[in-house]
Structure 1
């Protein structure tokens, strides 16, 4: 990934930035990060030595974490947390919650994941990916496990624009198709963790052929983020009982939708013609709704 694409990282609210870095932090740094995320409002009132004592770490560890965030020091972090204001720790579902509370918390986490994406997603990277998708001879979407559904949806959407877009559910087919990409083609990987071996292997194969590579992922320093030309950070926080949280997948789908609209708007005439053709084709496979043939009494 081009370092210049991460130049706006310090503009990300600190709690959101911390979550995107959490899996890549050392154990000591992670302890401090989790303490900050648990209750940012309390951290604003602590001194660096008090936070070190609470976390069983050292003041130098806390300063190092601040530097990981691109900040000058702990005081700078406190100012950013205070400015963030409403930031509180992620209040995920717990074992004692009733069903209404679970519903409310899960929906809130999904809203938060999409809202956070506006802070984490680099606009310059988004524009560059949209341009590559627009001019691509061929596009391959890559994903495994829960992310495979997002990759499949992406390929389907771009197909309706008349673009040669594909997704293969079999990992060997993904690898084969990726290896035959050439300069000007695009490989777009979707992965919550950014560390799925099959997806990493396929994106490396695509890059070896000279194709543009991009990824939609949740964590800023994952192996996938380090392997592609452009990173689009989006996603949320997982909680107990949620594997590859749906909130992250919905955030990833929202980014795909934004790319779809961006590409369509860059060549509106081509997009309209392709979608009209698709609509005519799909109309033949839809049953008419009952009300379309219902007659009024006496009619």
Structure 2
């Protein structure tokens, strides 16, 4: 019996630069799973599942098999329209092949489409023609940013914002974590908290993040940045901090992920970019906007002291620059 259970439970771990997804696969009327090392082929799994699918599920399955690169870039509603099925059919197909969600399906498709063996390169989520003019590039990015900033405002929760402000102001220290593109936002928060006289630290090196997390107490706050919410280098110290009774604030994409399940205070940003992107653009801007909102909220809690601290730090840096022959404004 034990051997039968072991044979029926196979775990595949998929590694990407900015996320980690662990998917339990239970073999249910599926002929088998094609794999190479620890990489599962979702295309093979869908192909093998076709005989057991309903007509609508077969329709979406065939579309995905014929257009995997296109399917992984579409939203669930756009994919349903392209395949002439309902979104419910896509959800049922995901359940049929034992994939937890549509987003997970897209991640697995990306693993297939852009595998090292195929030598293909993932392109950014926005498309421009070769030698696109500056006006087209700037206009597209600006309009995209404006729309996303408005969506960030819709996702902000007043209770979460001011509860986080209160915790920051009453914490012994704030430990900030983020790697890759998310490190940009993490460093920005650390710089802003320092200007307000709030003790904060930022460690970009993963071993230092783990070390620091192990020393935190309930008197501290752990602030994590991860667009995917699945970055293992962030989840590991978060888990350690939680075991020590530390409150966790997180900036991550909307829709639910491993980080949001661990966090006490969640700042959601729009799910605008593929998790297998090569470089963050709008997601990074969204994270920075959340930091600016949080920073301004902190200032308004004690305007007089905050302005005094900002002026003092600005004066010190300006004086240092003048002494070194630099005239730029702080």
Question: After TM superposition, is the score higher than 0.5?
Answer: yes
Q: Which residue, 207, 216, 224 being the options, matches 1:189?
A: 224
CA deviations 1:73-124 (Å, max 9, x no partner) are xxxxxxxxxxxxxxxxxx9324468233233222222222211111222222
What SS class does the counterpart of residue 206 from structure 1 fall into?
A: helix
Aligned position for 1:10: none
Distance 1:266 1:275, change over 3 A: same
| Cα contact 1:113–1:236 (8 A) shared by 2 | no
Aligned position for 1:34: 75
Distance 1:236 1:96, change over 3 A: farther
| Cα contact 2:218–2:246 (8 A) shared by 1 | yes
| Cα contact 1:110–1:236 (8 A) shared by 2 | no
Task: After TM superposition, give the deviation of residue 58 of structure 1 in Å.
Answer: 5.9
Q: Which runs of 5+ in 2 are unaligned?
A: 1-20, 23-41, 47-56, 65-70, 96-100, 102-124
Task: After TM superposition, give the deviation of residue 172 of structure 1 in Å.
Answer: 1.0
Does residue 88 of structure 2 align to residue 54 of structure 1? no
Does residue 196 of structure 2 align to residue 167 of structure 1? no
Q: Which runs of 5+ in 1 are unaligned?
A: 1-22, 44-50, 69-90, 293-299
Q: Which residue, 290, 296, 307 being the options, matches 1:272?
A: 307
Distance 1:61 1:201, change over 3 A: closer
| Cα contact 1:183–1:209 (8 A) shared by 2 | yes
Aligned position for 2:120: none
Q: Which runs of structure 2 are paired with 1:49-198 in the superposition (5 Å)? A: 54-55=84-85, 61=91, 92-95=126-129, 98-99=132-133, 100-198=135-233
Aligned position for 1:219: 254
Separation in 2 of the partners of 1:105 and 1:291?
31
| Cα contact 2:76–2:87 (8 A) shared by 1 | no
What SS class does the counterpart of residue 193 from structure 1 fall into?
A: coil
| Cα contact 1:235–1:249 (8 A) shared by 2 | no
Tell me which protein shows more helix as a share of its residues.
1
Moved over 6 A (4+): 26-33, 288-292
- TM-score, normalization by structure 1: 0.67
Aligned position for 1:17: none
Distance 1:160 1:224, change over 3 A: same
Aligned position for 2:121: none
Distance 1:232 1:251, change over 3 A: same
Per chain length, whose mean CA-contact separation is higher, i.e. which structure has more relative contact order (CA < 8 Å, sep 6+)? 1
Separation in 2 of the partners of 1:249 and 1:223?
19
